[in-house]
Chain A
Amino acid sequence: MPIINFDNSATSFPKPIAVKNAVLTAMNQYGGNPGRSGHKLSMDTAAAVFGARQEAADFFGAEAENVVFALNCSHALNMAVKGVARNRPGCHIIISSLEHNSVARPVHALYLQKRCTYSIAEVSHDDDITIDNIRRLIRRNTAIIVFTLGSNVTGQITPFKRIGELCSRNGICFIGDAAQIAGVRPVKLSDGINIICTSGHKSLYGLTGTGLLISDGRYVIHPIMEGGTGSTSLELTQPDFLPDSLESGTVNTVGAITLGEGIKFVNKTGIQTIYQHETLLCDRFISRMLKFPSVKICRDSRIKDYLPVVSFNIDGLTANEAGNLLSDKGFALRGGLHCSGLAHNYLKTSPNGTVRFSPSAFNNEREVDMLVNAIECIV
């Protein structure tokens, strides 16, 4: 039985044909270690990796050298949060009530190590209230605000441009978690975000094991890991320039090249086209679900603009049970806490969590209708 994937917020599947082809091309042609040698294999690979770096730079409005390849978004966020905080011992950090553990855990770890204090700003349905909530928490030593740009649980989009302005006015480093929004809605450094962190394998359609840290260069990011970079090799200290300072060890060349192709796919398809397509699928799903009284959709009717992600629950079933039953019927939806305990606590959907419906550019209306029919059998 073929599986229909509606768990694209965890990782997108299927991948575009161009991405699949890029894997083969990379394996066949780009087998060198970039930045480590002068031979053709190494140089060709370095050029291919640079091409992907430039693609990401253009996509997020950055300079290519300020694009760092990471293992995933958690890795990028750890580098950003811990790397910036290191220069500010005892600083205060603000995060949102919708954070994924990729933000909450590194910040909490810094707190346990007595390297920072932190506060949680409640995200409201009303952006004015959200901004006020943040403003009230700002202290003299607030150095970093880390906010999800769009929730991986509800799809709520945070007012990140206004947060950027607030950070800029107060000399605060703004780190944005773009894991769910990148590839669906435009996000640029010019939105006031100092460091954008994202996965590469979700709506950017690269392989798993890819992520990006994109800096505007304003804040020094100390490395959380040192090692070989292919540069300044006689020195025992890590290079202080990007991307080398944060890219120790051999980069995931195949992953980076596929990520570049994934971004090209998003550009070619059109980010607005993808957003509209996925939003239509979500709207269709929600409208069909309304006929089932036992289904509770986790959306706030006062919020008009969501990322194409829908969380829901079915009375009488835990989220995991519902996910498993749907899996038996050939559908992949993620049930549980989505690594976002804070968000589920805030939404009062903890400890059960929710079932999450997250389409990609490759899903269609027929598949949504098939899912609805499957849900009808279990409600």
Chain B
Amino acid sequence: MLRRTLMATAAATAMLGGMAVADGHEPVKVGFVYVGPIGDGGWTYEHHQGLLAVEEEFGDAVETVFVESVPEGPDAERVMTQMALEGADLIFTTSFGYMDPTINVAAQFPDVRFEHATGYKTADNVSNYSARFYEGRAVQGHIAGQITETNTIGYIASFPIPEVIRGINAAYLHAKEVNPDIEFKIIWAYTWFDPAKEAEAAATLIDQGADVILQHTDSTAPQAAAAAANEGGANIYTFGQASDMIEFAPLPRVSSIIDNWAPYYIERTQAVIDGTWETSSRWDGMDTGMVEIGEITDAVPADVKASAEAMIAAITAGEYHPFTGPINKQDGSVWLAEGEVAADFGDDGIAGMNFYVEGLTAEVPQ
């Protein structure tokens, strides 16, 4: 349980400097709660890039603090309370499991604004925000279905929550579209970050015949495991998750989903500075750049790359929605009729998606 708060000497010096000129404004204090270490190379790394962008943008006008590797659960509540007590004006809590702790702590600190990532609850001083990762998953599935030789795609999933299930469905639908024989093998790691377990999961999937590994966990370990397998003569492809993971290009990493939080963090910090902050639910995708697709390497055949880029362009322009009917649920019942586009919210909305689509053979863990 590694826990550090950043109070860099530089920041302290900057504060002293600010006092000296006495411009009368206290810096706005922005806190970040991370589920993994900032060096995970994936999810938390990108959130931390967002923090750095906020510092870069506002300079002395903001002060940032972060706590990394905070377990989801009661510990998170303690960390958030501490941040609020230390005078944070705006706190970003960056994992699904922080949702209820965020709501609880927010109720005790009505003057502090909270922003929770990837959840669905809001309050007077709690907004939520997420990215439409499934748009990127669709592109991954589209590429994966065409480059696989074994027709088997391995998927390292984290927790059975809507965000992850949505990703599996989006990838499966678009792999199936280009390759009817495709099969998905799914391993639930029940962790966001455990490099040893993630590497083990990747190795297991490779042992069982998968030659494309998709991951919804935060470390680069599956990439390294695939690279090691390739050194042993295999031909495994992977996709970077949450961050570009370009270190593993051109093989095994052939592309990636990049979460770009910086513009949102800057916008919301600005809103607090201006006093215009209001509760909102933001769910952005490729159109605003919150979801980016990392460079598709030359390991992917040119025609596949071209069609993937066409799909990216169509999604970015809003011409194509990855969940467009006809799509049946796993039990065979109709989810979306021909041409119907999935709603975000509501009973069958993708925000609360808890079912697999038709064709996936595994069951969603309960």
Answer yes or no: do A and B interact. Answer: no
Interface residues in chain A, defined as those with a beta carbon under 8 Å from any beta carbon in chain B: none
Residues of B with Cβ closer than 8 Å to A?
Answer: none
